Structure 1
Amino acid sequence: MKAGIGESRFWFNEQRGTLLALVIFIAMFTFYVMNHPAGFTANVVQTAANKGVLLALVAMAQTFVVLTAGIDLSVGMVFILCNCLASYVLVGSPLMVAGGVLAVVATGAICGAINAAIVIWGRLQPIVATIASGAVFFGIALWLRPFPGSDPAFSADLADALTGKVFGLVPASLIFLAATVILIWIPFRRSVLGRTVYAIGSSEVAAYMSGMPIKRAKFLAYVLSGVFAAFAGLYLTFFTYSGEASAANGNTYTLYSIAAVVLGGVSLFGGRGSAIGAIFGALAFRAIGDLLFVFEIDPLWQPLFQGIVLVLAVSVGSARLFQVRNRLDLFG
């Protein structure tokens, strides 16, 4: 009996941030649909889901690096680069479009691998390395798309299929997001390299002394970060039917991804949290913005209110730290 209670307590402590983000999201989204002129309809849910999934994918990209006690400030620029590339290559027959999707995802993975190489073998701090690489990625995006636009033969059918509704009810974007969790995040979390990523974030020295594959785990974390940023770039292209080398969008999504990660209970010190928490953090953050829009809050004031809610949420989630005398108590 005591063992069961202890396991439940351990699970609750581990999932505290995720559960808090889920509660905030449910509360905010419920309040949003209650005050939306159209109410709770499939179209309202679809619109909210599409915007939330875009940020959720970027937040998941950020999560992989943050778990290693790093931070990826290039994630928004990889997102923009992949958006610009997708606006060119998603054309032609279904086979050509599939090849274009693979090319975009491969580009994101290459960007992540470059970041990993600089951090692991170049031995630069992640924040410095990713600021520099992000500038390079944005330069390539600007070269690809000096002006917003897309190829005239852009595959609108694929875009409509992945941003529409399945059976007229469920947003396809949410199904895609769930598929990434099931097919990528869960196997990663249960793998040796996934456990090593958590160990690195908790104590890289201890992980090294334990003989864990630190370099391979870090490399995989950065590559997966690039892959998820590429997924987000694809979805931005699906939403807009175009590519745009926008530094403002890149910087905004980078900052919002960090906010979503924190709101989702992922520790910026590494080793704690999950991509699922980051997803709920992103959805909650988007719901806050939608709620402010419904109440017609002046856009100039919206960042202030979003920041206040974020600070309150993070403070509630971190309150227990003031009672902790030993870091191991967090898992007791």
Structure 2
Amino acid sequence: MRAALSRNLGLLLAVGLFAALYGLYSAQHPRGGSAALLVQNSNESFALILAAMAQTVPVLTGGLDLSVGPLMTLVNCLASRVLSGGPVELAFGILACLAAGTLGGLVNGCLVVYGRMQPIIATLATGAVYIGIALFLRPTPGGAVNADLSAMLTYDLAETAAVLGVFDGGQAAWFQPFAPIPVPLLLVLAVLLFVWVPFRGTEMGRGCYAVGSSEGSAYLSGIDVDRSRLAAYTLAGLFAAMAGLYLALQTGTGNADAPQAGAYTLNSIAAVVIGGTSLFGGSGGVVGSLFGALVLRSISFNFRVFDEASWLGALADPLLQPLFEGMVLLIAVSLGAARALRIRNRLQLFG
């Protein structure tokens, strides 16, 4: 029992911190606890959750992917060009976006595995390339995505049923208990159940943990180190593609915004650390990163509802909020790095 708690301490702390921060936000918000507020907040959090998942997999192998934000920006711009037309065109457009992100992740993996480049250098270089391609696709913000598809995937089940014209347009009596459920929450569960869980159970998934724990031991144990690393970066590309695709559905346009891409990359790293994944690899997972992303979003949510007359009124000043957000991120990353460094020193001491 104690070993299990120690192993999942980071995840438990992230869950507790999220519950406290989101509970504080809901208590102060006029519509706190309502289904409409939950839909809004889940919609605002989903892209960061996927970006954090994308960052987690390379980190598990002991690497770091600085191209997460740029790659999702590239897919966002691509989506603003191809997500229009009828069902067939939309299906091909979605597949093209996911394929583009997966290909970008594969390129990252090839540079790291076969090019023998340090992950941070390889992904810094490819990130610049991806931003360049995004600017080529969308020199200025614009484009459009199918409004019905956007409504189906960014609101609640009632809206999805209304768009599809099923369950009496979402008005069926038996459907009402499920109608307020946010679609983004269901999409998160689908990604976890149908992408992450199967991958983690494969030889390559287990290999990612083994490589991050000790590459030499993993190799001696017969694990294909190169294939595991390649799979990690490729899966990261797929997660980043999902994030960029959803960002296009959420905003309705494409925008090759380099500062936004950098912010998503930074926040994805912070979410990974807050969620309990070691920056040295080998421990953690995307569930922890999911809650780490929710912690970050809950912090920004609270900034919206602080009363300027209260003792926390300074946090309501929009000019000071980036300062406070940066301090929180710095503290989170520093604590995670300190925990990993302490473990590493102990292993060196007794090894």
Q: Choose the corresponding residue for 1:49, options 19, 22, 42.
A: 42
Q: Against the structure 1 CA distance between its residues 325 and 106, is the aligned structure 2 distance closer, same or farther, given a 3 Å change threshold?
A: closer
Contact 2:270–2:333 (Cα < 8 Å) also in 1? no
Contact 2:71–2:104 (Cα < 8 Å) also in 1? yes
Q: Aligned partners of 1:173 and 1:39: how far apart in 2?
A: 19
| Corresponding position of 2:162 | none
Aligned length: 320
Q: Against the structure 1 CA distance between its residues 328 and 276, is the aligned structure 2 distance closer, same or farther, given a 3 Å change threshold?
A: farther
Shift of 1:118: 0.6
Letter in 2 for 1:297: A
Give 5+ residue unaligned stretches, structure 1: 1-7
CA offsets 1:105-137 (integer angstroms, 9 cap, x no match) = 000000001001111111010010001101111
Q: Is 1:156 matched with 2:147?
A: yes
Shift of 1:324: 9.1
Q: Against the structure 1 CA distance between its residues 200 and 130, is the aligned structure 2 distance closer, same or farther, given a 3 Å change threshold?
A: same
Q: Against the structure 1 CA distance between its residues 102 and 202, is the aligned structure 2 distance closer, same or farther, given a 3 Å change threshold?
A: same
1:124-143 to 2 correspondences below 5 Å = 124-143=117-136
Aligned residues: percent identity? Answer: 47
| Corresponding position of 1:247 | 258
Q: Aligned partners of 1:86 and 1:323: how far apart in 2?
A: 43
Q: Choose the corresponding residue for 2:238, options 204, 221, 227.
A: 227
Q: Choose the corresponding residue for 1:85, options 71, 78, 82.
A: 78
Shift of 1:326: 4.1
Q: Is 1:104 matched with 2:97?
A: yes
Shift of 1:299: 2.6
Contact 1:64–1:224 (Cα < 8 Å) also in 2? yes
Q: Against the structure 1 CA distance between its residues 328 and 21, is the aligned structure 2 distance closer, same or farther, given a 3 Å change threshold?
A: farther
Contact 2:25–2:305 (Cα < 8 Å) also in 1? yes
Q: Aligned partners of 1:131 and 1:320: how far apart in 2?
A: 23
| Corresponding position of 2:320 | 301
Contact 2:68–2:265 (Cα < 8 Å) also in 1? yes
Letter in 2 for 1:94: P
Q: Against the structure 1 CA distance between its residues 229 and 323, is the aligned structure 2 distance closer, same or farther, given a 3 Å change threshold?
A: closer
3-state SS, counterpart of residue 316 of structure 2: coil
1:274-293 to 2 correspondences below 5 Å = 274-293=285-304
Shift of 1:273: 0.5
Q: Against the structure 1 CA distance between its residues 215 and 9, is the aligned structure 2 distance closer, same or farther, given a 3 Å change threshold?
A: same
Q: TM-score, normalised by structure 1?
A: 0.91
Q: Aligned partners of 2:55 and 2:276: how far apart in 1?
A: 13
Letter in 2 for 1:273: G
Contact 1:263–1:310 (Cα < 8 Å) also in 2? no
Contact 1:65–1:225 (Cα < 8 Å) also in 2? yes
3-state SS, counterpart of residue 118 of structure 1: helix
Q: Against the structure 1 CA distance between its residues 140 and 311, is the aligned structure 2 distance closer, same or farther, given a 3 Å change threshold?
A: closer
CA offsets 1:253-292 (integer angstroms, 9 cap, x no match) = 0000001111111111111111000000000110011101
Contact 2:280–2:340 (Cα < 8 Å) also in 1? no
Q: Aligned partners of 2:60 and 2:344: how far apart in 1?
A: 21
CA offsets 1:286-328 (integer angstroms, 9 cap, x no match) = 0011101211622332233334445565677766976997449
Letter in 2 for 1:17: G
Contact 1:42–1:168 (Cα < 8 Å) also in 2? no
3-state SS, counterpart of residue 170 of structure 1: coil
Q: Aligned partners of 1:217 and 1:320: how far apart in 2?
A: 22
Output the aligned Cα RMSD. Answer: 2.1
Q: Structure with the greater relative contact order (CA < 8 A, sep ≥ 6): 1 or 2?
A: 1
Q: Aligned partners of 1:146 and 1:326: how far apart in 2?
A: 51
Q: TM-score, normalised by structure 2?
A: 0.86
Shift of 1:201: 0.6
Q: Choose the corresponding residue for 2:188, options 153, 172, 177.
A: 177
Give 5+ residue unaligned stretches, structure 2: 158-177, 307-314
